[in-house]
């Protein structure tokens, strides 16, 4: 994540209750950066009393957490992917042993 993206995300998180209207968040030269943060799921857009607003997601808040918190979050959120990869590797190794390559 680039410096200006982090600065804009921090500005959003430190704003009033972590919310900004979409117009304020995407004004001027911040529009391109804001759209990238939204596309990468660091920020979400929603309607509040018919006003388009933006707020940081859990993924956005993790950017400013220590590395061990981010690693634990990755591990717990992607457990199914990790177990799938392990199962594939084990099945490949078992298959190789059965045909005599190991």
pLDDT(17) > 90: no
Task: Report residue 54 as tokens.
Answer: 């933006």
Could you give the count of Cα atoms lying within 13 Å of 99 in the half-sphere of its Cβ? 6
For the segment 21-50, the average pLDDT, to the nearest whole number, is 89
Cβ–Cβ < 8 Å for 19, 27: no
Residues 6+ apart with CB under 8 A from 35: 26
Give how far the C-alpha of residue 50 lies from the chain's centroid of Cα atoms, to the nearest Å: 26
Does residue 102 have a pLDDT over 80? no
Give the global pTM: 0.69
Q: Look at the block and give the residue holding tokens 């972590």.
A: 18
Where are any strands of DSSP class E within 1-102?
Answer: 19-21, 43-48, 51-56
Confidence of residue 63 (pLDDT cuts 50, 70, 90): very high
3-state secondary structure of 54: strand
């Amino acid at each position: 994540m680039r410096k200006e993206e982090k600065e804009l995300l921090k500005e959003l998180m430190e704003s009033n209750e972590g919310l900004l209207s979409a117009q304020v968040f995407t004004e001027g030269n911040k529009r391109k950066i804001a759209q990238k943060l939204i596309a990468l799921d660091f920020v979400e857009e929603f309607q509040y009393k018919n006003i388009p607003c933006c707020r940081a997601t859990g993924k956005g808040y993790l950017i400013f957490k220590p590395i061990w918190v981010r690693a634990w979050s990755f591990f717990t959120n992607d457990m199914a992917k990790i177990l799938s990869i392990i199962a594939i590797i084990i099945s490949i190794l078992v298959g190789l042993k059965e045909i005599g390559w190991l």
